[in-house]
Structure 1
Amino acid sequence: MDIQIKGDLDGISDQQLDFIRRKIKENNIKGKDATVSVIGQAGDNFGAAVRVISIKNEKEDFKIIVKVTSNVTRLLNETNILAVITFTNEITMYKEVLPMMTQLQKNVGIEPSDMFPVPICYGASNETPHEIILLEDLRKEKYVMLDKFKPLPNDTIKLILRTVAQYHSLCFVLKEKCPEEYTGFCNKLMNMNAVETLLQYTQTFKTIGQQISQMFEDKLTANIIVKTINEQIDKKFRMEKSEKGSKYLIIVHGDCWTNNFLFKLEGDKPTKCIMIDYQLVKEAPPVIDIFYVIFNCTDYETRAKHYYEWIDYYHSQLEINLDVHGLKIKTTYPKDKLESDLCRYAKNMLGTAIISNSLMIRNNEEIAKIKETMSEAENIGHFAESFNNMSGLHVETVLLIKQRIVDTIKSCIDFGYLNPNKYI
């Protein structure tokens, strides 16, 4: 007899419910009925609708995280814009890339407790428009999400960078030891047919830059915002083309910020973390993830004190993890190449951080309003308009956005990545 599924089924299709029933049976999960409920807040996951399914059995409820396409993601997919933001990426990671990384670690005798941590994937399907991923509910292991509004302290950033370095090392190992498989993964993750479509909508992001700049009375700051974002958009495809085929490219996570890590705490202190949400993975230089963490998760004072320490720490952790697999840091990703990439991509990632901070640190009410407006959009033009809208934000949100942007610009100037005299 098929398990009965009830609860909050809004946005979950009959095909997805059938898939859930099949995977419960295939994974030998016992239970007679299951209840689906919403998990988290509106701002916790932008590109997917996330539910938790509780399967009742004699001992205790067995819980599975269910990710299905949201109306926002469905609109993006229907218009073929930003094709890398699809479930195909995450499904490829959970079904193919991450399992191969786990096997590579087993091959060299790494203990399970020391392996790169990955949630169990109970099943995934990219059948359009019924995409679905079933994942382990890490809350049973006492993992939690930290407050996205609070800058992370030094110890937590080092914990994240250690995890990122371990993931990056496995990307390099995969590329070196399984080149055909690695290339195949990259081809799946990168839909080059989308580039032409993306080019049609670059004006959308330039408009976002214009609107953000209008929040600032200081002309220098406003000029830096507009010009940095415009330069980022104009140079993006040229930079990607020039790097194509480089030995230093890997499959980066692409969205390394607070909400995409879960943490296990001892008291109030994070001691372990797990990377989640692989929807933005792509082939790019490792510094993309490093900058994303530092620019989106820390404040000015902590960056000023620890930035160079973080870079050294990341590189040392990368070396340690590469060495286990017989790869040498000097030929895989030497320190001078890391420093060169930091200089090359800093302004590009500043532009990304300006846009991401204008969205990610809105409160849950504001994010919910954006998602509702986007889900009702009739076409990609209306979608862009709702995304661009900076009006209606709470005063506290505006102040926080402005502070984050100003402080990130100051950091880039301090580190020598940005010359303000060019923007006067």
Structure 2
Amino acid sequence: MSAEQIKNIEDLIPLGDGKKIVNYKINRLTAPGENYGSLMLSVDITVKTSTGNEEIHAIAKAIPPSEFIQELFNVQVTFRNEIAFYKKIIPLLQDFQRQHGVKEVIDFVPKYYGSRLNLKGNEDKVDQDAVLLLENLKVANYDTLDRTRGFDLDAAKLIITDLAQFHAVPLALKLEKPEVFESEIKPFLIQWGPKGGPRDQFIKQVNDLIDDIDELKQFKEKILKTFDEDFTPSEPRETCATIVHNDCWVNNFLLKIENGKSVKSVMVDYQMCSYGSPARDIVFFLFSSVKEDVLKQYYDDLIKLYYQTFTSVLEELYCVTSFTFEALQEEINHEANLQFRHITFMLYPMFIPKAEVQDIADLNFKSMLNHKIPDAHKRKFTFVVNEFIKRNWI
């Protein structure tokens, strides 16, 4: 799929009788560096109805043109999984909430319009005609923030609350209806871990980064020891295993800001969802995407807010578990080492200088890592290392 055309767009959206697409315009949605796992386009559609014209403002998510990114994100699996998340899993979770009398169901996902894997109408292969069509939230005044700055306290509270609901609702469903979870949700949850990319090159970059930061040289052996293992997570511990997003960084959250304050958050990019500990998302989100001064002062408060929301959602769904606050802290301690490697890797694309950002069509592993490391990257990495050592996570 190109930036000029979406073939058979009329087949993507079920419009109903008497409605017809009469025009549409397509533009590139994201600038280089804002999205790495897919090609994002804005699609403005004019629909003729019996009473006049309607406008649909959507985004089209297509597979990236780069073979490197296709392999890294395993698009043959993850693209179809993301379609299933919007088309099947979210409605299933919302219906489960309504069955328990919940009025304010999950609402931190964009509206789903339609999708396809190819133009052949089969399930064989995800190809260049694959597309996922979703609501364009930027029209409703949602936007991403500067990925190098991170979220303030208001935004962090909104997102950590949404994450707690995102984790708790499927957990309750799993415990009450395990057969439904196994048949309707589990097949679309991957064994998380990026594919491809020379690991030795990444470790060399980290080694060089440490050598360039005097404060961290004393911790060099401790830091590099964490990379003795790869990114593959350990087997999930069933006590609290649930759906995990796995990619909770700044660019995957859109915020609505009113009078300078974040009032609503929406989470996107569900292609990497897996089955595992909610602590994976908690640690990665907080230490990759929240401002350092906020974490220093409010880390404990944010963890408590997560736990309070998590348990209240379970109670709302009549789900009784023995998952204590101490158990959550244990999960965080258990998952933090892997997330240190995840965060360390993500800091490279997060802080890549804008002048050096490659278009997604030209992106490769070398271009993601081999660039001049800005001071903001060094400060963030130093902060993460010190916080993880302080908590005995590495």
State the distance in 1 between where 2:368 and 2:153 align.
32
User: Which TM-score applies when normalising by structure 1?
Assistant: 0.80
1:123 aligned partner: 114
Structure 1 counterpart of 2:101? 109
Unaligned runs of 5+ in 1: 1-8, 375-382, 419-424
Work out the percentage of aligned pairs sharing the same amino acid.
22
Per-residue deviation, 1:25: 5.1
1:415 is aligned to 2:383? no
Alpha-carbon separation, structure 1, partners of 2:73 and 2:160: 31
Structure 1 residue 367, shift from structure 2 partner: 2.7
What is the Cα-based RMSD across aligned positions, in Å? Answer: 2.8
- 8 Å CA contact retained: 1:67, 1:134: yes
Cα distance between partner residues in 2 of 1:131 and 1:123: 11
Tell me the alpha carbon deviations over residues 239-263 of structure 1, each in whole angstroms, 9 at most, x when there is no partner. Answer: 524x36x232111011112211111
The structure-2 alpha-carbon separation of the partners of 1:65 and 1:387, relative to structure 1 and needing over 3 Å to count, comes to: same
Q: Provide Cα deviations, 1:83-135, integer angstroms capped at 9, x if missing partner.
A: 697312211211221111111122122225x5333211111223321321000
The one-letter amino acid paired with 1:182 is: F
Q: Helix, strand or coil: the match of 1:240?
A: coil
Matches within 5 A, 1:374-389: 374=363, 383-389=364-370
Report the Cα offset of residue 202 of structure 1.
4.3
Partner of 1:134: 133
Aligned partner of 2:64 in structure 1 is 70
1:211 to partner: Cα distance: 4.7
Q: Would you say 1:206 and 2:203 are equivalent positions?
A: yes
Structure 1 residue runs of 4 or more that deviate by more than 6 Å after TM superposition: none
* Matched residue SS, 2:358: helix
- Aligned residue in 2 for 1:187: 187
Aligned pair 1:292/2:290, yes or no? no
Residue 42 of structure 1 deviates from its aligned partner by 1.5
Structure 1 or 2: more helix by fraction: 1
Q: Residues of 2 paired with 1:281 and 1:232: CA distance?
A: 21
Residue matched to 1:366 = 356
2:362 alignment partner, SS class = helix
- SS of 2:375's equivalent in the other structure is helix
| Alignment correspondent of 1:34 | 24
Counterpart residue type for residue 362 of structure 2? T
Q: Aligned partners of 1:91 and 1:31: how far apart in 2?
A: 23
Letter in 1 for 2:213: F
Measure, in 1, the Cα distance between the counterparts of 2:138 and 2:20: 20
Q: How many residues align?
A: 379
Structure 1 residue 82 displacement after superposition: 4.6
CA distance in 2 between counterparts of 1:27 and 1:64 reads 18
Residue type at the aligned position of 1:93:
F
Q: Structure 1 residues 215 and 90, CA, compared in 2 at 3 Å: closer, same or farther?
A: farther
Structure 1 residue 178: Cα displacement: 3.0
Alignment of 1:242-321 (within 5 A): 243=236, 246-321=238-313
1:287-308 residue CA offsets vs partner (Å, 9 max, x unmatched): 0010111101123322121111
Q: Which residue of 1 aligns with 2:33?
A: 43
Residue 335 of structure 2 aligns with which residue?
A: 345
Aligned partner of 2:2 among 4, 10, 13: 10
Unaligned segments of structure 2, at least 5 residues: 119-125
**Cα separation, partners in 2 of 1:69 and 1:108, compared to 1, 3 Å:** same
Q: Residues 199 and 140 of structure 1: is their aligned pair in 2 closer, same or farther, counting only changes over 3 Å?
A: closer
* TM-score, L = length of structure 2: 0.86
